[in-house]
Amino acid sequence: MSAPNDLKRFAYAERVIHWVAGLSFLFLLMTGLAFSHPRLFWITSLVGGGSTARFLHPWMGTLFTGSMVVMFFTWAKEMSIQDGDRAWLKSIKHYAVHDKDNVPPAGKYNGGQKLFFWSMAILGVAYIVTGIPMWMPGGFLGVGPFYGGVVNSMRLVHYLSTVFGGLLLIVHVYLGTIAYPGTLGGMLHGTVTNAWAKLHHPLWHKDQSG
């Protein structure tokens, strides 16, 4: 699938952890959507019915949280936001209209990808912190019990952060697939072409080609 002079972008472990996070998040979005309105409850039939979905949602959330923790420690250093990334973010409107000449060259990740990483890390904390009181209203690790008002406030924050995370995911999937062909391959089989790297991540390309 990959040619001899393709560049290695993601190690096997990085890809596995990304897809555990990606697929568990999709499951959570789908079942969460089903719980959000009676008219959407039919979605639960895709995963074996209402009680199965209700049982699996928090456990899948635990898997998602675990994968996010591993992803965080794997990528946090590479994702630190530098001056070049701030300049990239300032010209994001040029990036959005594919006006490449007015976008500063990106390294392995551009400023937008780094911002996505940090946003998902923060949202991941919000999901688990607000999810636990709904899952275990009687208390968890000596904290609680959580009374109705607390559980309802948590539900609201859980819901709002899901809307935000869901919108970010749509942009992420769009950019990684339709908008920039050749990107998905890096996350599937680990490599990208030289031309792709030169076009989208010129500083990283330079670094990789010595």
74 touches ligand HEM by CB under 6 A = no
Of 50 and 176, CB closest to ligand HEM: 176
197 touches ligand HEM by CB under 6 A = no
Instruction: Kindly state the tokens that stand for 91.
Output: 């010209």
Name the β-bridge partners of 143: 140
20 touches ligand HEM by CB under 6 A = no
79-118 residues near ligand HEM, rule: CB under 6 A: 109, 113, 116-117
At 191 the three-state DSSP class reads strand
Q: Among residues 52, 57, 60, which one has the least CA distance to residue 36?
A: 57
Stretch that binds ligand HEM, among 46-54, 85-93, 142-150, 184-192 (CB under 6 A): 184-192
Name the β-bridge partners of 8: 191
205 touches ligand HEM by CB under 6 A = no
At 107 the three-state DSSP class reads coil
**Can you say how many angstroms the Cα of residue 208 is from the centroid of all Cα atoms in its chain?**
26
Q: What is the DSSP string of 134-159?
A: HH-TT-BTTB-PPPHHHHHHHHHHHH
CA 52 → CA 38, 48, 56, 134, 162, distances in Å? Answer: 16, 6, 6, 16, 21
186 touches ligand HEM by CB under 6 A = yes
Spatial distance between the Cα atoms of 24 and 158, rounded to a whole number of angstroms = 16
Stretch that binds ligand HEM, among 18-26, 81-89, 128-136, 139-147 (CB under 6 A): 18-26
Of 126 and 187, CB closest to ligand HEM: 187
Q: Taking each helix axis as running N to C, give the angle between helix 50-75 and helix 12-36, from 0 to 180 degrees, rounded to the nearest 10.
A: 140
- In angstroms, give the least distance from the CB of 169 to ligand HEM: 5
Binds ligand HEM by CB under 6 A, chosen from 15, 18, 94, 198: 18
Q: Which amino acid is at 110?
A: N
Binds ligand HEM by CB under 6 A, chosen from 34, 103, 106, 120: 120
Binds ligand HEM by CB under 6 A, chosen from 6, 7, 17, 25: 25
9 touches ligand HEM by CB under 6 A = yes
176 touches ligand HEM by CB under 6 A = yes
Binding residues vs ligand HEM (CB under 6 A)? 9, 18, 21-22, 25-26, 109, 113, 116-117, 120, 169, 172-173, 176-177, 183-184, 186-187
